[in-house]
Amino acid sequence: MASKSAVFVLLMVVVAVAAPIAVAQLGTVGRLLDRIRIQGTVFCSINATGTASPVFPNAQVQLRCGIGDVVSRATTNRLGMFLMQFLPRQTLSSILAECNLF
């Protein structure tokens, strides 16, 4: 059992080291293909935070920017988790300042 854990850890280290190398080799093309990734968990609670609340499966999540333009959509899975990936039309700083999850 310990050897399986050691092999898994070694594999994860190799993947972690190899991934940045692969992206770095893309150069300018890699920067053009960059995506923004937003992930999270939706809990069933009002005015509460934390994992003590039950999760919200099949919830519709939207990223809205500016005057309410929907930039990306996702649906939570049975564990209440969602993932959005999109090509940015704006800079990261403007996304952080002007966009909200609903």
- Give residue 21's pLDDT: 45
Same domain for 40 and 29: no
Same domain for 68 and 41: yes
- Give residue 18's pLDDT: 41
Same domain for 45 and 18: no
- Give residue 57's pLDDT: 93
- Give residue 53's pLDDT: 82
Q: Count Cβ atoms below 10 Å from residue 43 Cβ, excluding itself.
A: 16
Tokens standing for 24? 């770095």
**Residues whose CB falls within 8 Å of the CB of residue 71, separated by 6 or more in sequence, listed in order:** 63, 64, 65, 86, 89, 99
Boundaries of domain holding 4: 1-34
Same domain for 39 and 23: no
Same domain for 43 and 25: no
Same domain for 29 and 39: no
Same domain for 49 and 95: yes
Write down the pTM of the prediction. Answer: 0.59
Segments of the chain with pLDDT less than 70: 1-33, 48-51
- Give residue 19's pLDDT: 41
